[in-house]
């Protein structure tokens, strides 16, 4: 089976990638499989910088083509926070604490001002390949309490108006069809024939 290597240690992201790549005939391989002891420090100040950093670091270490995802939630009423710091907003990769902090900071903010978007930068790097980045986003509204148990991160408090459901109430396939990550992956898929020629 063809493999696609993703420079991630986030199992939620890995599941999102599997929902999108398995139907295309690819097996998704993550850092848990190929570089479990490697830590890549995210020193960038933008999604793009961090995605490039992760893709190029793992690609150089393995000598293969690697895709990396840097993503997050931008809430308008919080001036775009948590943004690039989404994974470490309240505690390091503590999804529950991160959700509590967003809800706390939005207390009293009315629904029409709770607009937000998920953003995703995907970078692809490889030997003999010019590193390339694509972007995807997904518009939503921050709920006042959690709904649903699917997905990861902020999915339970992210309401998707076009589907009238929280992101965590969607199946992996439904999420992939509308998500920031799904939108970015489709753009990358369109570019692959030219990139790999």
Ligand X SMILES: O=c1[nH]c(=O)c2ncn([C@@H]3O[C@H](COP(=O)(O)OP(=O)(O)OP(=O)(O)O)[C@@H](O)[C@H]3O)c2[nH]1
Q: Catalytic amino acids?
A: 70
Provide the 8-state DSSP code for 121. E
Nearer to ligand X, 126 or 143 (CB): 143
Nearer to Mg ion, 38 or 192 (CB): 38
Minimum CB separation of residue 138 from ligand X in Å reads 8
Name beta bridge partners: 70. 121
Q: Which of 59, 86, 133, 183 binds ligand X (CB under 6 A)?
A: 86
Q: How many residues does the chain have?
A: 197
Nearer to ligand X, 183 or 197 (CB): 183
Nearer to ligand X, 25 or 76 (CB): 76
Q: Which segment (26-34, 84-92, 95-103, 187-195) binds Mg ion by CB under 5 A?
A: 84-92
Query: Do residues 121 and 184 lie in contact, with contact meaning Cβ atoms separated by under 8 Å?
Result: yes
CA-CA distance, 151 to 172, in Å (whole number)? 7
Tokens linked to 156:
């339970």
13 contacts which partner out of Mg ion, ligand X, none, CB within 5 to 8 A by kind? ligand X
CA-CA distance, 158 to 177, in Å (whole number)? 16
> Does the N-terminal peptide bond of residue 191 adopt cis geometry, omega within 30 degrees of 0?
no
Scanning residues 23 to 42, which ones bind ligand X (CB under 6 A)?
42
Minimum CB separation of residue 155 from ligand X in Å reads 4
180 is in an annotated binding site: yes
Query: Do residues 133 and 48 lie in contact, with contact meaning Cβ atoms separated by under 8 Å?
Result: yes
Minimum CB separation of residue 34 from Mg ion in Å reads 17
18 contacts which partner out of Mg ion, ligand X, none, CB within 5 to 8 A by kind? none
CA-CA distance, 82 to 158, in Å (whole number)? 13
Burial degree of 147 (CB within 10 A; 0-12, 13-18, 19+): middle
Would you tell me which residues interact with ligand X (CB under 6 A)?
8-10, 13, 42, 69-73, 86-87, 98, 118, 151-155, 158, 179, 181
């Amino acid at each position: 089976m063809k493999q696609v290597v993703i420079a991630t240690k986030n199992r939620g992201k890995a599941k999102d990638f599997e929902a999108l790549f398995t139907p295309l005939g690819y097996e998704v391989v993550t850092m848990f499989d190929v570089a479990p002891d490697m830590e890549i420090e995210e020193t960038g100040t933008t999604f793009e910088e961090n995605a490039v950093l992760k893709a190029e670091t793992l690609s150089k270490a393995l000598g293969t083509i690697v895709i990396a995802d840097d993503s997050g939630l931008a809430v308008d009423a919080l001036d775009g926070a948590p943004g690039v710091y989404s994974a470490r907003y309240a505690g390091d990769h503590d999804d529950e604490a991160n959700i509590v902090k967003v809800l706390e900071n939005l207390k009293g903010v009315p629904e029409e001002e709770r607009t937000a978007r998920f953003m995703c930068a995907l970078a692809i790097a490889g030997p003999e390949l010019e590193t390339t980045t694509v972007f995807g986003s997904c518009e939503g509204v921050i709920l006042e309490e959690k709904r649903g148990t699917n997905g990861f991160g902020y999915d339970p408090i992210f309401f998707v108006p076009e589907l009238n459901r929280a992101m965590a109430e969607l199946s992996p396939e439904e999420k992939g069809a509308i998500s920031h990550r799904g939108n970015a992956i489709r753009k990358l898929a369109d570019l692959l024939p030219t990139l790999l020629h």
